[in-house]
Amino acid sequence: MIDIDFLNMPDRDIRELQVLFSAEEIDKRTQELADIIDEEFPQDEPLYVISILKGSVLFTCDLIKKMRTPIQLEFIKVSSYGNEFKSTGNVKIIDSKIPNLNDQNVLIVDDICDTGNTGKELLSIFKNDYHIKKLKFVTLINKRCNRVVDVDPDYYGFEVDDKFLVGYGLDYIGFYRNLPFVGWFPQ
Ligand code: IMP
Ligand code: MG
């Protein structure tokens, strides 16, 4: 059971939160994605999984547990100057100690591809900085209707329309990341 008093935010009522993707649905879809990604990458070479903090941590952990490809796990933190609902084009890597990725296979993992700014910027930074063998981008959620730049995840779990989502890593001002499902507040 969810501790309603703990999660209740001043301007949102947790009792209004609607489940969009249940823990079971996420688990099933994550297994499908893990199988697809295992097919995509060689099983006898390391795959560098680059998890974007903080939102993709839950998805990354569940995804890699289901994969058979030998992985190296790295985290990066990006800044995106916007408000809590919308990112801007000004995306920068602000904290990372990534090893040399020349001639390596790389999978970038994010919680959601929304405007696409984060994905587009990160893919171009990685392509510019390294000679990567195979570079793929996976997100749990694809909010294609909000896209402002030309990018699409190579793989994604679920497509949604223009809803602000919370849970399973996705936050509203830092809260709700620990919900085991993805939900939204109907307006
Ligand atoms: P972008 O707009 O594709 O650059 O996405 C940037 C970031 O915005 C994502 O990694 C999320 O952290 C955040 N974001 C976008 N849509 C949502 C949402 O519906 N809920 C919570 N965070 C979101
Ligand atoms: Mg976020």
Question: How does pLDDT run across 107-146, given as a tens digit for each residue?
Answer: 999 999 999 999 999 999 999 999 999 999 999 999 999 9
Q: Whose CA is nearest to atom 16 of ligand 1?
A: 114
Residue 5: inside a domain: no
The catalytic residue among 62, 110, 111, 114 is 114
**pLDDT digits 0-9 by tens, 1-13:** 455 455 555 567 7
| Test site for ligand 1: of 87, 92, 110, most ligand atoms within 8 A of the Cβ | 87
**CATH number reported for the structural domain that contains residue 136 in this entry:** 3.40.50.2020
Total number of domains in the chain: 1
Residue 30: inside a domain: no
Residue 151: inside a domain: yes
Nearest CA-CA partner of 15 in 3, 30, 31: 3
Q: Is the CB of 37 under 6 A from ligand 1?
A: no
Residue 106: inside a domain: yes
114 is catalytic: yes
Residue 161: inside a domain: yes
What pLDDT does residue 85 have?
57
Q: Is the pTM of this model over 0.75?
A: yes
Residue ranges in the chain modelled with pLDDT below 50: 1, 4
Tokens 């904290």 label which residue? Answer: 95
Residue 21: inside a domain: no
What pLDDT does residue 1 have?
45
Q: Which domain holds residue 71?
A: 44-78+96-169
Residue 84: inside a domain: no
Half-sphere exposure of 174 (CA within 13 A, CB side): 0
Q: Whose CA is nearest to atom 8 of ligand 1?
A: 87
Residue 186: inside a domain: no
Phi, psi of 77 (to 5 degrees): -115, 135
CA of 118, closest atom in ligand 1: 4
End-to-end Cα spacing for the chain: 24
